[in-house]
């Protein structure tokens, strides 16, 4: 049995060698990068943990583009705004496809999620549905829901500050369940919420760990080996994960269908679309609509948890490390609210310093440092460098948002950088982190508007009502927060020690007077 597996692997390696030896000479030199080993390429240069730090060193050494390969599979890192926008935006017609990942897609059952769907008719239909629900013109309709969910979040946070990240997760998950499926979360033990947390963790830390590239993605023939073969543990894991991911897609959707049949469904993304179906459609159209709504809803649901948790966790860390920023922001909010109410979405234009804090949190925190990979569908040449068809192309967001030319002293948290006028309109656009943080071109995150609106409101509500600082030990000494990153895709810090308490008796009174 082991010999059979070994034969499959050797045959796959032989094919890679043959392909590399016989492939035609490129029209131009490849972009620079670390020197590969024969056949295996740069596999030793990759790491499953904080790959963005390694990619940042490549950016400094090799410039605007870095090229490596693993068994002939090209990986391209775009290290400057110019390279990222030129290729992923302007040439989006050939750079908008997604990797055909055997492990994540076929074996784990994620091929129809928006994050994994190849560019084409299905992805366009999905994004159109998401734009309907989450476009700029729709976000204002969610403001009452945002404010409704913010108040209980603050009360839960004050009741148990040590679990601040759990409270953020419940807020993000609960709000999305309400918007997408019309399901209101009543407790942290909510079945749908726990299912989402488990599956999003599987996606980030197991299925998509290390960029989501598994040996079976490089050697697709490995998917045919029997599950009981030595070395086939990935197939056994995938079978377990696939069942869980199917449950994640189907259960909340079937909940809405059941509620609609009973006439008790709350207004939501799913109920709105299913309710708009008209008689006279053929079975094929109905099946396609069911498919699109089911998978788009799940993608909206799964895509909101980690970005919100990451952004707010970095905000908490920034306030712990910069108490002077918190004090100035509190004074600005007080001047708008008179300390007699919580801030609302409509206050945003009158809170420039708070807006600067939010913008700097996006830049400094970098929720997805390497973005999700794009796949090049035909050979291309950029600035005299050849990029082969099939390459996986990453926007190196970490390197861009730590570029000293764009952001002086880039590792420092400094909201004031956005209060100073830029040299010109182009410079102003270039220093805004949103076009980088939320992705590029046709693959830009369609849920960006909801993520930003909800995270912003959560942030200013915390500023208005809380004091956030370093924890104090039994000897009265400040405890420096220990920051550890373990998530392979999202730059989410593990929970760290800090002090979160009511800002004042008056602030606590205002909060408790607000509706539940």
**Is the model's pLDDT at 491 over the cut of 50?**
yes
pLDDT at 268: 86
pLDDT at 19: 56
Higher pLDDT, 504 or 5: 504
User: Count of residues for the chain?
Assistant: 516
Give every CB contact of residue 515 below 8 A, 6+ residues apart in sequence: 148, 151
pLDDT at 437: 94
Structure tokens at 501: 């308490």
Structure tokens at 477: 């000494």
pLDDT at 280: 45
By percentage, how much of the chain surpasses pLDDT 90?
55
Residue 423 per-residue DSSP state: S
299-313, 385-399, 484-498: which is most confident: 385-399
Mean local confidence (pLDDT), 348-362 = 97
**Is the model's pLDDT at 87 over the cut of 60?**
yes
Kind of pairing between the strands at 385-387 and 380-382: antiparallel
Helix 143-159 and helix 505-513, axial crossing angle in degrees, nearest 10: 130
pLDDT band at 209 (very low <50, low <70, confident <90, very high): low
pTM for this structure? 0.87
Mean local confidence (pLDDT), 104-130 = 86
Please tell me the distance from the alpha carbon of residue 181 to that of residue 303, in angstroms, as a whole number.
Answer: 14
> Is 117:123 a contact under the CB 8 Å cutoff?
yes
pLDDT band at 281 (very low <50, low <70, confident <90, very high): low
**Is the model's pLDDT at 79 over the cut of 60?**
yes
For 408, phi then psi, to 5°, come to -55, 140
Reported in sequence order, the residue ranges of 409-470 that DSSP labels E, i.e. its strands, are 466-469
Was 445 annotated as part of a binding site? yes
**Residue pointed to by tokens 């020197």:** 35
pLDDT at 220: 87
Q: Which of 214, 201, 200 is closest to 48 using CA atoms? A: 214
Give every CB contact of residue 407 below 8 A, 6+ residues apart in sequence: 363, 401, 417, 431
* Angle at alpha carbon of residue 182, lines to 178 and 184, rounded to 5°: 55
Give every CB contact of residue 432 below 8 A, 6+ residues apart in sequence: 359
Least confident of 27-41, 201-215, 254-268: 201-215
What is the tally of helices (H) and strands (E) in the chain? Answer: 20, 10
Higher pLDDT, 18 or 354: 354
Q: Which of 136, 133, 212, 217 is closest to 178 using CA atoms? A: 133
pLDDT at 17: 55
Give every CB contact of residue 368 below 8 A, 6+ residues apart in sequence: 307, 397, 437, 439, 489, 490, 491
pLDDT at 210: 57
Give every CB contact of residue 360 below 8 A, 6+ residues apart in sequence: 318, 413, 414, 415, 417, 418
Domain boundaries, the chain: 23-513
Mean local confidence (pLDDT), 224-241 = 91
For 33, phi then psi, to 5°, come to 180, 175
Average pLDDT, the chain: 88
pLDDT at 376: 95
pLDDT band at 122 (very low <50, low <70, confident <90, very high): confident
CATH of 23-513, one of 1.10.630.10, 3.40.30.10, 3.30.70.20, 1.10.275.10: 1.10.630.10
pLDDT at 257: 94
Least confident of 167-176, 385-394, 492-501: 167-176
pLDDT at 479: 95
> Is 307:368 a contact under the CB 8 Å cutoff?
yes
């Amino acid at each position: 049995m082991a010999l059979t597996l070994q034969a499959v692997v050797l045959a796959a390696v032989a094919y890679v060698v043959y392909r590399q030896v016989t492939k035609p000479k490129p029209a131009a030199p490849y972009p620079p990068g670390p020197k590969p080993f024969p056949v295996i390429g740069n596999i030793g240069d990759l790491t499953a943990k904080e790959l963005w730090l390694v990619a940042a060193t490549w950016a400094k050494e090799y410039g605007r583009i870095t090229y490596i390969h693993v068994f002939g599979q090209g990986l391209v890192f775009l290290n400057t705004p110019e390279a990222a926008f030129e290729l992923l935006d302007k040439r989006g017609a050939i750079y908008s496809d997604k990797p055909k990942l055997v492990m994540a897609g076929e074996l784990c059952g994620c091929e129809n999620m928006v994050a994994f769907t190849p560019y084409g008719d299905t992805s366009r239909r999905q994004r159109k549905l998401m734009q309907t629900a989450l476009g700029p013109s729709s976000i204002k309709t969610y403001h009452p829901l945002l404010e409704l969910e913010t108040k209980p979040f603050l009360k839960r946070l004050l009741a148990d500050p040590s679990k601040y990240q759990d409270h953020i997760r419940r807020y993000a998950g609960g709000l999305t369940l309400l918007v997408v499926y019309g399901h209101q979360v009543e407790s942290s033990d909510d079945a749908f919420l726990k299912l989402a947390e488990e599956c999003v963790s599987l996606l980030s830390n197991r299925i998509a760990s290390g960029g989501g590239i598994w040996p079976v993605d490089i050697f697709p023939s490995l998917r045919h080996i029997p599950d009981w073969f030595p070395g086939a543990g990935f197939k056994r894991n995938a079978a377990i994960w696939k069942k869980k991911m199917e449950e994640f897609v189907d259960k909340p959707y079937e909940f809405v269908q059941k509620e609609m049949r009973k006439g008790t469904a709350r207004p939501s993304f799913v109920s709105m679309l299913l309710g708009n179906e008209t008689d006279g459609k053929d079975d094929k159209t109905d099946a396609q609509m069911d498919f699109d709504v089911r998978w788009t809803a799940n993608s909206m649901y799964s895509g909101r948890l980690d970005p919100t948790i990451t952004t707010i966790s970095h905000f908490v860390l920034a306030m712990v490390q910069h108490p002077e920023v918190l004090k100035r922001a509190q004074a600005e909010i007080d001047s708008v609210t008179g300390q007699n109410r919580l801030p609302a979405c409509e206050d945003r234009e009158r809170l420039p310093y708070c807006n600067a804090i939010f913008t700097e949190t996006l830049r400094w925190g970098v929720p997805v440092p390497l973005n999700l990979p794009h796949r090049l569908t035909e050979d291309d040449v950029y600035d005299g460098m050849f990029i082969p068809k099939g390459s996986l192309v990453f926007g190196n967001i970490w390197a861009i948002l730590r570029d000293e030319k764009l952001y002086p002293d880039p590792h420092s948290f400094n909201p004031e950088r956005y209060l100073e006028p830029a040299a010109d309109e182009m410079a102003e656009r270039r220093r805004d982190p949103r076009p980088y943080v939320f992705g590029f071109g046709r693959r830009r995150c369609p849920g960006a508007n909801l993520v930003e609106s909800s995270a912003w409101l959560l942030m200013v509500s915390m500023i208005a009502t809380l004091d956030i600082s370093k924890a104090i030990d039994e000897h009265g000494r400040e405890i420096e927060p220990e920051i550890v990153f373990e998530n392979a895709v999202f730059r989410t810090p593990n929970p760290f020690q800090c002090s979160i308490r009511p800002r004042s008796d008056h602030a606590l009174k205002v909060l408790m007077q607000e509706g539940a």
